[in-house]
Structure 1
Amino acid sequence: MDLDEWPYPKQPLVPLAETVHERMSVEIFRGCTRGCRFCQAGMITRPVRERSITGIGDMVEQGLKTTGFEEVGLLSLSSADHSEIGDIAKGLADRYEDDKIGLSLPSTRVDAFNIDLANELTRNGRRSGLTFAPEGGSERIRKVINKMVSEDDLIRTVATAYGNGWRQVKLYFMCGLPTETDDDVLQIADMATKVIAKGREVSKSNDIRCTVSIGGFVPKPHTPFQWAPQLSAEETDARLEKLRNKIRGDKKYGRSIGFRYHDGKPGIVEGLLSRGDRRIGAVIRAVYDDGGRFDGWREHFSYDRWMRCAEKALAPFGVDVDWYTTRERTYEEVLPWDHLDSGLDKDWLWEDWQDALDETEVEDCRWTPCFDCGVCPQMDTEIQIGPTGKKLLPLTVKNAAPAPSGHAH
């Protein structure tokens, strides 16, 4: 499918009230083949199909005309991986320099970041913090999840950012990844202190920040981790408490490190819903009948209600919450979503799960031979990437010389 033939949405709805993400969003490509084993979106939207630089320019132009937004979000699962992202950012920044239209990306892969891209993104807008997602604290756990980013890569990247005027970096991590130990999580604190130390060194200033944001891992269907056990709420909270104590106990760097986390109890409910079967419908109904509303909001969430209703609704079937969440599955088990076809071959997912347990990384199939995940032949599609060699032209000619007066003789 050629995404340029589907410039959606042409006329985005504009809320009457101010929203958190007050910007126009443009999907610059679909799919991701980086192969992060925890990522359902990356698995089920394969392969990578890019919009062209000119197609993106047309969508931005049309969207700004119909919405009046002053910022454009260039969205995808890994936007900095677009083969023409540098030209896209520069072309859009040039086009809308006089209008002060800002550009933004979601969190950026450490190995896809470069300072020229960052400068173009902030040229017409405010310079906020940079966000990266190492996901795992140790080299070992990043091999397990196939997040092929080294600590040296991260330190080099943040050194470049701090050295070019940025003062705040946010790092995303997960807790409870398969085979994870306390040490894997505690290495997050070590990484954050190295980030601050390098930032102070290159910026010649102590006025820099690194925020660690960490959430509990929830295994998802149609990923290699669909067979993995989920860490219990108690173990998750204990591990996060150790990490928090280590960060706060650092007298030299701790005050420069922010720490945000989600406790383990909501994650167990997410896990129940994520890998549940049709029997979970009775649990959801029981929670609703018991007064459950807006459970995504912390002030309305009741873990005890969910556990109480689940125990009662699941008792006739001889299963419980742990059976759905903290239990490892076998290859032979029929999974509740096996009848849903995302194009991925189940045997390939199982092999990737075994590679994870062996701490074996798998390359991006955009740059390597096919790994036979099954998507392209099953869905009758293929990888579609540039570069196209085209450029974004200005919408109007700027600084043009005035036409001569009078008539030619």
Structure 2
Amino acid sequence: MRMPYESRFAEIEPLLARVEKPSRYIDHEWGTLTNAEADYRVCLIYPDVYEVGLPNQGIAILYSVLNKQEGISCERGYVPWVDMADLMREAGVPLLSLEGAAPVASFDAVGLHIPHEMAVTNLLETLDLAGIPLLSADRGEDDPIVLAGGPSVYNPEPYAPFIDAILIGEGEEHLPEVCQAHRRLRDAGAPRAEILRALADIPGTYVPSLYDIVVGEGAGAHGHAVPRDGAPAVVHKRVVADFGATDPVPQSIVPYAQLVHDRLSIEVLRGCARGCRFCQAGMTYRPVRERTSDQIVSAVVAGLERTGYDEVSLTSLSTTDHSCCTAVLDRLNRRLEDTGIRVSIPSQRLDSFGIDMAARVAGEKKGGLTFAPEAGSQRLRDIINKNVTEDDLERATRAAFEAGWRRCKLYFMMGLPGETDEDIVAIAELADRTYELAREVVPKGQRGGISVSVSCSVFIPKASTPFQWCGQTPDEEVKRRQQLLIHSVRNRAVRVHYHDADTSLLEAVLSRGGRDIAPVILGAWRRGARFDAWTEQFDLARWEEAAAEAGIDLRAVAGTPYGLDEPLPWNHISSGVSKGYLAREYRRALDGITTPDCSRTSCTGCGVCPTLHVDNILAGDRK
């Protein structure tokens, strides 16, 4: 049993005057939760700076859930920015938890959230600053158990050697089970190896050290994992069957610093069945589960009273898909009338209903609207199963401009399977037509406020999607297509933004590679890679040098397609969507055949519901 530690904030305090944002490193936020009497301590860490990590709903949910468990206390941690990290190393100060300023290495378990692939070097930065051995194999009996979970664990192999146990899927029930099991085994004096073997018996728990990587002929380009010691052949994700029973207001902390998303967030539904073939979240968060109107409205009122925010965001993968969206927004408008509190929804559907919902939340404050056609041509939208047409976009933007909006952002992807130069030009033509439509609809005296912009990201093949077998378009070709897009936009008033091709190359490597990529991650971090999601910190040269040292060709990893029958590095990790369904959707994509949303029609056979024993649960007409 670990003994409680006194606060070591006094070691951090002299450094605060020498860093850019000292508010990142001090406690005293309103609404923090810990259990001083608990004998089992967990530190949850978001792999980025405080103002990015604090709004994360996943961390907020697990922080709340763990602190309600008998005998468990949970604190938080964030990655110090480069100025503070360098000063801490110079002064010999280890990474400390936020609430108690206790060494992270002193906790029983350290939970690392993995929100995206570009966070992987910050995982190593966290472990190194904490004084925890980077490799699971090097950790001893006195080191904490290092756990990981989050959206980007469906191909965990590139960072598997750094983690003791990876939690696949939703954590509200899963993480407490793992911590309670660890606590019982710790108290019984079980050695570390026995603890990890026992954790692998908890459904949804992947313990990488219990799997051998088979390489060679027939094993796939990056090898595949084979279990030993009775570990499960396939680890299926965990899913919360009764989403409505979970706390709709896990957010308790009000910071003293400006956050990236500084508002109350209420998760109104979980999952999406629209079936976009490029979208990992759309596959891995299935099935769809909704909160009722009553629960949402009550949660908003209670959350605003608790936190004092003047804005609430109704969050999900597609909020306007909620079956009671109209009723929810009408009731909230009545409850919040004359309070000055704003309700927001993350994005709008490409139909009149989406505009109607936007109008309900905007009131007189009509800022900008965001639409995501994803591809410029109908042929390519059918390939990716977007299930929207150019007419849908025209009707939606016309309705928006007629209703008083003046700013419109259009999201697209570049490098999608089957894409040609004509599809790139079609993006420019669609943006130009949107701008001309605005000029047609908006009264002459108000046209100066019109803004149409295009944001174009690079397609990344993701595990557990129908496009998981595809290679990424080579980065040099992406750069050529980006220039083609810029030069194809005729109207100078249309602004074009695109994602960096170098960053996208690396993201594809981390999405598609196997355990052979772990030495590349380690080598890049040792060369100074950290905060790779920040443009000013990213340097592809570090990764190229590390890859050369490890004998890895980054562009081959990113761009070489997998065969449909080839073993994939992530075959042993299941989102519940069957491999047969993904392959069938891939073939339908090649033929340009679309698949409907099963929550609006009949079952499309993805396999999630029978595999995980959970059905789509819509609020329907329930209030």
Structure 1 and Structure 2 fold alike (TM over 0.5): yes
Q: Is the 8 A contact 2:471 2:562 kept in 1?
A: yes
Q: 2:417 aligns with which of 178, 181, 187?
A: 178
Q: Is the 8 A contact 2:377 2:427 kept in 1?
A: yes
Aligned-partner SS, 1:332: coil
Q: Using the alignment, how far apart are the partners of 1:268 and 1:165 within structure 2?
A: 40
Residue type matched to 2:530 in 1?
R
Residue type matched to 1:2 in 2?
D
Map of 2:520 onto structure 1:
283
Q: Is the 8 A contact 1:49 1:385 kept in 2?
A: yes
Aligned-partner SS, 2:507: helix
Q: Is the 8 A contact 1:75 1:106 kept in 2?
A: yes
Change (3 A) 1:34 1:284: same
Aligned-partner SS, 2:454: strand
Q: Using the alignment, how far apart are the partners of 2:352 and 2:542 within structure 1?
A: 44
Q: In the TM superposition, what whole-angstrom CA distance separates every residue of 1:1-43 from its partner, at most 9, and x where no partner exists?
A: 2322102443432222111221111111011000000110010
Map of 2:473 onto structure 1:
231
Q: Using the alignment, how far apart are the partners of 1:93 and 1:227 within structure 2?
A: 46
Change (3 A) 1:114 1:9: closer
Map of 1:37 onto structure 2:
277
Cα root mean square deviation, aligned: 1.4
Map of 1:106 onto structure 2:
346
Residue type matched to 1:105 in 2?
I
Q: 2:588 aligns with which of 355, 364, 375?
A: 355
Residue 193 of structure 1 and its aligned partner are, at CA, apart by 1.0
Residue type matched to 1:282 in 2?
P
Q: Using the alignment, how far apart are the partners of 1:94 and 1:347 within structure 2?
A: 48
Aligned-partner SS, 1:330: coil
Residue 310 of structure 1 and its aligned partner are, at CA, apart by 1.1
Residue 302 of structure 1 and its aligned partner are, at CA, apart by 0.8
Q: Is the 8 A contact 2:275 2:595 kept in 1?
A: yes
Q: 1:216 aligns with which of 446, 458, 476?
A: 458
Q: Does 1:383 align with 2:616?
A: yes
Residue type matched to 2:494 in 1?
I
Q: Using the alignment, how far apart are the partners of 2:356 and 2:349 within structure 1?
A: 15
Q: Is the 8 A contact 2:289 2:618 kept in 1?
A: yes
Residue 389 of structure 1 and its aligned partner are, at CA, apart by 4.4
Q: 2:487 aligns with which of 230, 233, 245?
A: 245
Residue 79 of structure 1 and its aligned partner are, at CA, apart by 0.7
Map of 1:401 onto structure 2:
none
Q: Is the 8 A contact 1:11 1:66 kept in 2?
A: no
Q: Using the alignment, how far apart are the partners of 1:337 and 1:112 within structure 2?
A: 40
Q: 2:508 aligns with which of 268, 271, 295?
A: 271
Residue 121 of structure 1 and its aligned partner are, at CA, apart by 0.3
Q: Does 1:145 align with 2:384?
A: yes
Residue 91 of structure 1 and its aligned partner are, at CA, apart by 0.9
Residue type matched to 2:245 in 1?
E
Q: Is the 8 A contact 2:352 2:396 kept in 1?
A: no
Residue type matched to 2:536 in 1?
E
Q: Using the alignment, how far apart are the partners of 1:278 and 1:259 within structure 2?
A: 37
Q: Using the alignment, how far apart are the partners of 1:167 and 1:11 within structure 2?
A: 33
Residue type matched to 1:37 in 2?
R
Q: In the TM superposition, what whole-angstrom CA distance separates every residue of 1:156-185 from its partner, at most 9, and x where no partner exists?
A: 110111011110111101001011111111
Q: Is the 8 A contact 1:93 1:101 kept in 2?
A: no
Q: Using the alignment, how far apart are the partners of 1:49 and 1:268 within structure 2?
A: 34
Map of 1:52 onto structure 2:
292
Map of 1:193 onto structure 2:
432
Q: Is the 8 A contact 1:218 1:230 kept in 2?
A: yes
Change (3 A) 1:180 1:344: same
Q: Is the 8 A contact 1:80 1:112 kept in 2?
A: no
Q: Using the alignment, how far apart are the partners of 1:161 and 1:271 within structure 2?
A: 36
Change (3 A) 1:139 1:11: closer
Q: Normalising by structure 1, report the TM-score.
A: 0.90
Q: 1:339 aligns with which of 565, 572, 575?
A: 572
Q: Is the 8 A contact 1:343 1:374 kept in 2?
A: yes
Q: Using the alignment, how far apart are the partners of 2:354 and 2:534 within structure 1?
A: 36
Q: In the TM superposition, what whole-angstrom CA distance separates every residue of 1:227-247 from its partner, at most 9, and x where no partner exists?
A: 011011111111011111122
Q: Does 1:300 align with 2:533?
A: no
Map of 2:91 onto structure 1:
none
Q: 1:64 aligns with which of 304, 307, 310?
A: 304
Q: Does 1:132 align with 2:371?
A: yes
Q: Does 1:261 align with 2:498?
A: yes
Aligned-partner SS, 1:230: coil
Map of 2:394 onto structure 1:
155
Map of 2:442 onto structure 1:
203
Aligned-partner SS, 1:72: strand
Q: Using the alignment, how far apart are the partners of 2:509 and 2:354 within structure 1?
A: 40
Identical-residue share of aligned pairs (%): 43
Q: Does 1:92 align with 2:328?
A: no
Q: Which runs of 4+ in 1 moved over 4 A?
A: none
Change (3 A) 1:73 1:267: same
Map of 1:407 onto structure 2:
none
Q: In the TM superposition, what whole-angstrom CA distance separates every residue of 1:114-138 from its partner, at most 9, and x where no partner exists?
A: 4432222012x73210001111111
Q: Is the 8 A contact 2:532 2:538 kept in 1?
A: yes
Residue type matched to 1:160 in 2?
A
Q: Is the 8 A contact 2:276 2:385 kept in 1?
A: yes
Residue 263 of structure 1 and its aligned partner are, at CA, apart by 2.3
Q: Using the alignment, how far apart are the partners of 1:112 and 1:18 within structure 2?
A: 35
Residue 209 of structure 1 and its aligned partner are, at CA, apart by 1.3
Aligned-partner SS, 1:127: coil
Map of 1:166 onto structure 2:
405
Q: In the TM superposition, what whole-angstrom CA distance separates every residue of 1:182-218 from its partner, at most 9, and x where no partner exists?
A: 1111111100111111111111333211110111110
Residue type matched to 1:306 in 2?
W
Unaligned runs of at least 5 residues, structure 2:
1-240
Aligned-partner SS, 1:149: coil
Q: Is the 8 A contact 1:236 1:263 kept in 2?
A: no
Change (3 A) 1:300 1:17: same
Residue type matched to 2:468 in 1?
Q
Q: Is the 8 A contact 1:189 1:246 kept in 2?
A: yes
Q: Using the alignment, how far apart are the partners of 1:113 and 1:228 within structure 2?
A: 34
Q: Is the 8 A contact 2:366 2:404 kept in 1?
A: no
Structure showing greater relative contact order (alpha-carbon pairs closer than 8 Å, 6 or more residues apart): 1
Aligned-partner SS, 1:215: strand
Q: In the TM superposition, what whole-angstrom CA distance separates every residue of 1:319-349 from its partner, at most 9, and x where no partner exists?
A: 5223321011111111111101211110110
Map of 1:406 onto structure 2:
none
Residue type matched to 2:534 in 1?
W
- 368-377 or 234-243: bigger deviation: 368-377
Map of 2:141 onto structure 1:
none
Aligned-partner SS, 1:171: strand
